[in-house]
A and B are shown apart, each in its own frame.
Chain A
Amino acid sequence: MTEVERHNYDVVVIGAGGAGLRAAIEARERGLRTAVVCKSLFGKAHTVMAEGGCAASMGNVNSNDNWQVHFRDTMRGGKFLNNWRMAELHAKEAPDRVWELETYGALFDRTPDGKISQRNFGGHTYPRLAHVGDRTGLELIRTMQQKIVSLQQEDYAETGDYEAKLKVFAECTITELLTDDSSGAISGAFGYWRESGRFVLFEAPAVVMATGGIGKSFKVTSNSWEYTGDGHALALRAGATLINMEFVQFHPTGMVWPPSVKGILVTEGVRGDGGVLKNSEGKRFMFDYVPDVFKGQYAETPEEADRWYTDQENNRRTPDLLPRDEVARAINSEVKEGRGSPHGGVFLDIASRMSAEEIKRRLPSMYHQFKELADVDITKEPMEVGPTCHYVMGGIEVDPDSAQSVVPGLFAAGECSGGMHGSNRLGGNSLSDLLVFGRRAGQGAADYVAGLDRRPVVLQSDVDAAARMALLPFDPPESGEPENPYTLHQDLQQTMNDLVGIIRKADEIEQALERLAELKTRMRRVVVEGHRQYNPGWHLAIDLRNMFMVSEAVAKAALMRTESRGGHTRDDYPQLDAEWRKTLLVCSATDDDELVPGIKVERKEQEPMRQDLFELFDVEELSKYYTEEELAAHPDYQSLAAKGNAEAGKEEA
């Protein structure tokens, strides 16, 4: 029998980024005994990297903003593949979630009348992002970290124990979810302390997954080492499903030089505040890349675009602020056609657009980052930027209202959940997403636990199996050369980067799947040196299991979707296809392989949008995305059809 430290909780939140902390706050406020388990120290989660802001239609800067406008922008940004109910809840609840943070002590930048200031961002019609300079994510994490401390102080006052109801297990990695033998419901989670390597078991009827993204499967990424798709893979192995895994967002502006910082993020706030993209000829090339679906919504000349910053009523926004997928593809094309910068990116110019003082005030951490890491003074010269793997739209399939997956007791929020952002996420919508759905997941878990008549049971055999799996990398391979986990990881990253990256083709994806199969056989031979105490080689070997499962899900779904939409661009199928809009690809695990289970992908019809939401859109806009059959449900369809007939008649005449 395995030696394990045991804990008993009502809910275990895995991940201490924004979504996890918000879920934990909610669960504790509803009276649940709550554990937060995270791979890093408390307060270091990837959310600190979010720079630009948190989207919420408070209307503080432009009073025309409201939830309907935010909802429409979100659906457009995701090319109408979003789960509309999630997009609706998100748009409606985001302002309350932001204001709530002020009651926890957050200090956002202010408008002249003392309200929370809001900034422009790609795809958002009005200035909408609550922000603190360019370190908004840090403010969110610190605020919620401090809220958790304040809840612990309340518990201390009452019980003499800070951790009576809410405890953070930092530097602790969960490697497996455990389920009840008879019901299939969540019964607990198994993991190890990074510091000692000792095993730990949480017995709990509810788990909230808030583990973030998968970027570490790609070579050029803005993501930290933690982003190994743990939540995605753990959920798959527990029987849950993933959706939209083919949609991976490449942020258009990552650093490209020096090589060691390639991929580190340059906030979209640079463009939101006036920065513009230029090619090696000095041309603002984005004007050439406004796609048909956005024609008429963006400025056509640099003059109009510049006027827009001061007069938004009479001018259209700059195409530098198109949604991220469009900008990333445009940069990719410019570089391919030989108009790139010396280090294979394009130029992002803020220096010629505002004073040095203004730049340092608005974008202090960007100034700092370029000065320290690239020796570039962004108040004097342009930055060199290019696409970097940034965010996965795909994730655990959940019920929009309760955040529960198909596995009873398993909830998910934030980046590791799927649906909310459709095929492409708008900048600023992730911080609001994690607040809205973090809270809902906490609530969902509380309701679920309250409704249970018996606690699901942890099987000792499952605990033993999980322990055996975790220790596997210490055993020498049965045959063949031992593999170094670092080398295997690099090969995986190169494969995904080259073959399932920003632009995809069927034959390349097939090649990727072959290589993944090959890498999976090498995975069996991974051996780590040293002992279990704080051993990064061992930690990586464990995380690799998850990266392989997630990479296979991305590649398989990408091969199946024969169209281009948002964060999925197929060179061999460059168009949007209305039939695909209503189709979701659902990934689940097969039970062929205990170490790295295979992935099965199935099609599923998306539920049609509720009528009142459907009617928020102009039928003409919808006609760019929807099938004729679907459009017929819109009240203005008849007039559109009549207009279409008239135009067809004209052409004939």
Chain B
Amino acid sequence: MSYIGQFRVWRGDSNGGSLEDFEVEVNEGEVILDVIHRLQATQAPDLAVRWNCKAGKCGSCSAEINGKPRLMCMTRMSTFSEGETITITPMRAFTVVRDLVTDVSYNYEKARQVPSFQPPEGLAPGEYRMQQVDVERSQEFRKCIECFLCQNTCHVVRDHEENKPAFSGPRFLMRIAELEMHPLDTADRRDMAQDEHGLGYCNITKCCTEVCPEGIHITDNALIPMKERVAGRRYDPVVWLGNKLFRRNRS
């Protein structure tokens, strides 16, 4: 069942680089990451790649395979034909460190700007009561393995580095939605989602949802409901008038 596959792998660093051709053995049941590991062990010992669990659970081995953002550990070789040349490149929205490794610090900076869970005052540990049906909404978003493929594919930043300061990307807009839907969270992040995290930039093309290896419905279940909440607060004429009349500021 083994064959020699054709691969083009991007090699280089922040100063530039190019695609290099390799011929690598491929065996039954293997995934792209197996091929990369064999390449390291036999032909390119210093080929840089991030990986950890090799089971689609940690979100480390993100890359672009034939131009599609994917996890290398979850891309089976059987989905390609034997004669096909497979191209593996680093994620495009982030600066390259070396070879397939990119600088993903943007994501950690954005994560720090989302105000954390705020529990109700006076509720002691052990006294939290929530219904399964209520926690399930946020639980869907907490399945996120932070592979940052959604961040990489989102057209707001994919080829627009200049949008990064004003836009936190699907992963962290979803984090805001997750906290907003947490049954016991007491903070209000609606204005902030729009003003500081760039929710308005999202025009729901669902590219993020398409590449999510966890199958999270980022657009339908997180971003659109979040937009509705913001709209409800800021643009509903009755709410607007009420706020004007009663000078109700940020609640």
Contact = CB atoms under 8 A, between A and B. Distances in A.
Q: Indicate whether A and B interact.
A: yes
Interface of A: 40-44, 46, 48-49, 58, 95-96, 99-100, 102-105, 107-110, 112-115, 117, 132-133, 135, 138-139, 142, 146-147, 149-150, 152-153, 156, 162, 195, 224-226, 257-261, 264-265, 365, 368-369, 372-375, 484-487, 490, 528-531, 533-538
Contact of B57 (A49, A115, A375): A49
B125 A103 contact: yes
Q: Lowest 7 CB-CB distances: which A-B pairs, in order?
A: A258-B29, A105-B117, A530-B46, A150-B116, A114-B129, A537-B45, A99-B125
Given A104-B117, A113-B129, A369 B55 contact: yes
Contact of B52 (A46, A257, A484): A46
Given A40-B58, A142-B144, 20 more contacts: A44-B146, A58-B126, A105-B185, A146-B116, A146-B117, A149-B111, A195-B97, A225-B51, A260-B27, A260-B31, A261-B29, A368-B215, A369-B55, A373-B56, A486-B40, A486-B42, A528-B46, A530-B45, A534-B97, A537-B45
Contacts of A490: 41
Contacts of B42: 486
Nearest to B29: A258
Contacts of A375: 78
A321 to B, nearest CB: 24
A375 B31 CA distance: 12
Contacts of A139: 142
Interface residues of B, number: 60
B249 interface: no
B207 interface: no
B131 A110 contact: yes
Contact of A153 (B50, B116, B119, B185): B116
Contacts of B97: 195, 534
A536 B142 CA distance: 31
B246 to A, nearest CB: 30
Interface of B: 13, 27-31, 34, 40-42, 45-60, 74, 76, 78, 97-99, 101, 104, 108, 111-112, 115-117, 119, 125-126, 128-132, 135, 138-139, 142-146, 179, 182, 185, 215
B142 A142 contact: yes
Nearest to B133: A110
A486 B41 contact: yes
Nearest to B144: A142
A124 to B, nearest CB: 20
18 contacts: A41-B60, A41-B104, A42-B108, A44-B146, A49-B53, A103-B119, A105-B182, A142-B144, A150-B116, A150-B117, A224-B52, A259-B29, A264-B54, A373-B55, A528-B45, A533-B13, A534-B48, A534-B98
Given A40-B60, A105-B117, A105-B182, A373 B74 contact: yes
A537 B46 contact: yes
Contacts of B116: 105, 146-147, 149-150, 153
A17 to B, nearest CB: 11
Given A48-B57, A135-B57, A534 B101 contact: yes
Contacts of B56: 368-369, 372-373
B142 A529 contact: no
Contacts of B74: 372-373
Contacts of B144: 142
A261 B33 CA distance: 11
Contacts of B49: 536
Contacts of A41: 50, 60, 104
A114 B130 contact: yes
B145 A535 contact: no
Contacts of A113: 129
A373 B76 contact: yes
A114 B183 CA distance: 11
Contacts of B131: 110, 114
B90 to A, nearest CB: 12
Contacts of A112: 132
B40 A536 contact: yes
B28 A259 contact: yes
Contacts of A261: 29, 54-55
Contact of A484 (B31, B45, B58, B99): B45
Nearest to A533: B98
Contacts of A105: 116-117, 119, 179, 182, 185
B117 A48 contact: no
B182 A107 contact: yes
B33 to A, nearest CB: 9
A152 B146 CA distance: 20
B52 A225 contact: yes
A43 B142 contact: no
Nearest to A141: B58
B206 to A, nearest CB: 20
A149 B109 CA distance: 10
A224 B58 contact: yes
A374 B29 contact: yes
A132 B34 CA distance: 30
Contacts of A44: 52, 58-60, 146
Given A44-B52, A109-B132, A373-B31, A102 B125 contact: yes
B138 A535 contact: no
A260 B29 contact: yes
B108 A535 contact: no
Contacts of B34: 260
Contacts of B125: 96, 99-100, 102-103
Contact of B54 (A135, A156, A224): A224
A99 B112 contact: no
A259 B27 CA distance: 9
A43 B108 CA distance: 10
Contacts of A133: 139
A138 B57 contact: yes
Given A150-B117, A260-B30, A536 B45 contact: yes
Contacts of A149: 111-112, 116
Given A107-B138, A113-B129, A259-B28, A372 B58 contact: no
Contacts of B112: 149, 152-153, 156, 162
B60 A536 contact: no
A536 B53 contact: no
Contacts of B60: 40-41, 44
A265 B126 CA distance: 31
Contacts of B59: 44
Contacts of B129: 113-115
A273 to B, nearest CB: 16
A484 to B, nearest CB: 7
B126 A43 contact: no
B117 to A, nearest CB: 3
Contacts of B47: 536
B136 to A, nearest CB: 9
A173 B40 CA distance: 20
Nearest to A361: B136
A407 B60 CA distance: 35
A114 B58 CA distance: 29
Contacts of A531: 46
A536 B57 contact: no
B55 A264 contact: yes
